Amino acid sequence: MKHFSFYGRKRTLTLSTGFHILVATSIIGCGKAVDHPQSTSKDFKVALVTTGSVSDQGWNAGAYRGLLRIRDSLGAHISNVQTQTPAEIDENFRQYGSQGYNLVFGHGFEYQDPAIRVAPSFPKTAFVITSGANTAPNVASVQFAFSDGAYLAGIVAGAVSHSGTIGTIGGTQLPPVVSAFRAFQAGARSVNPNVKVLSAYVGNWDDPSAAKEQALAQIARGADVIFQNADAAGLGVFQAARQSTGVRVIGSNSDQNAVAPEVTLGSVVIDLPRAMLMIARDVKDGTFTGHTYHLGDVEGVVLWRGNPTLSTEISPETQAKLASAKKALDAGQLKIPE
């Protein structure tokens, strides 16, 4: 989930961003959207606003892939902007609203309140917040049951750990991150009631060097499986594991199994493209209403995806436990602590 870096100067970015725009936005200090030249249709316009870089191989990268899929599947005209400071969110939304965009995704918890404020001025635009619960006539929220996947990841971590100590490393303490870590802990306790869970936060989402130090500190305390949810900074956790012996990592949000296949047990994946396309279809078909979408394991949006390279490290018994927990989740029989 995401996040502003603590001194947050970030860049608007699309593939067509010119250097002059970059300079202009640096000095003016506000995000300026650049339309994608590949767009094919002017009728259906979809925008994505993120707080972090879409090259983070995680939360934001997944949303960008979702935007591209909407373009490819629905022929939408797409645009993407990166918010630099929280104060700019309203302005980002207004820009897209006034340009007549049909659908604007605010990708993260931070976008909830600005959407509620701005939405009444642009009744023809659907605002969708991808992590939240606020709704209005033209504002929908998505609640990803990320905890479903985090619980399953916890089962794997609890079973694979030899030391009986596992760790979680987050960017900042956002509510969705905290509840994911709680679910992870519950999953681990379900297979090893005595497992010790260490927890640390980097304090931002883009300092991999600091995240690596957090991971090394946990490893020095005996942690041998670490669940990272720190976006781009989280890459440092993989690097720490690669330089230590017998340490395994579980990735978040996107399928991160390819980032460091030799140390990654699996990833808790949010299939953002699938979810975003689903919502975009609703908007295009005119069936969109301002409500909360609950998307999780049973909808095929949140998944545990094991890394085939290390599949032998997860025993058949653990695989069986995973399968039965998944079944219980889908049937609504398993309640995960919030």
Query: Per rule CB under 8 A, is residue 194 in the interface with another protein?
Result: no
CB atoms closer than 10 angstroms to residue 120: 11
CA distance 11 to 295: 30
Under rule CB under 8 A, how many of the chain's residues touch another protein? 55
Ramachandran region, residue 250 (left: φ > 0; alpha: ψ -120 to 50; beta: rest): beta
In Å, what is the CA distance from 56 to each residue of 2, 123, 310? 11, 33, 23
Q: Is 275 an interacting residue with respect to another protein (CB under 8 A)?
A: no
Query: In the range 90-119, which residues lie near another protein by CB under 8 A?
Result: none
Which helix (H) or strand (E) covers residue 281, if one does?
helix 272-285
The values of phi and psi at residue 89, to 5°, are -60, -45
Nearer to another protein, 57 or 92 (CB): 57
Of 46, 61, 145, 150, the one binding another protein (CB under 8 A) is 61
Q: Which of 47, 119, 188, 232 binds another protein (CB under 8 A)?
A: 232
Interface region with another protein, contact rule CB under 8 A, candidates 39-47, 57-65, 69-77, 187-195: 57-65
Of 221 and 327, nearer to another protein (C-beta) is 221
Does the footprint of another protein cover residue 87 (CB under 8 A)? Answer: no
Q: Is 5 left (phi over 0), alpha (psi -120 to 50) or beta?
A: beta
38 part of the interface to another protein, by CB under 8 A: no
Check: CB of residue 267 under 8 Å from CB of residue 301.
no
Asked if 212 touches another protein (CB under 8 A), the answer is yes
Residue 168 binding another protein, by CB under 8 A: no
Q: Return the residue of 48, 54, 265, 325 that touches another protein, per CB under 8 A.
A: 54
In the structure encoding, which two tokens stand for residue 113, read together?
């309140």
Burial class for 50, CB neighbours closer than 10 Å (0-12, 13-18, 19+): buried
Residue 259 contacts another protein per CB under 8 A: yes
Give the strand pairing for 302-306 and 264-270: antiparallel
Distance CA 313, CA 162 (A): 11
Q: Residue 243 interacts with another protein (CB under 8 A)? A: yes
Q: Is 293 in the site for another protein (CB under 8 A)?
A: no
Task: In angstroms, give the least distance from the CB of 221 to another protein.
Answer: 5
Binding site for another protein (CB under 8 A): 5-7, 9-11, 13, 15, 17, 19, 22-23, 25-27, 29, 53-57, 61, 64, 167, 173, 198-201, 203-204, 206-210, 212-214, 216-218, 220-221, 223, 232-233, 235-236, 238-239, 242-243, 259-260
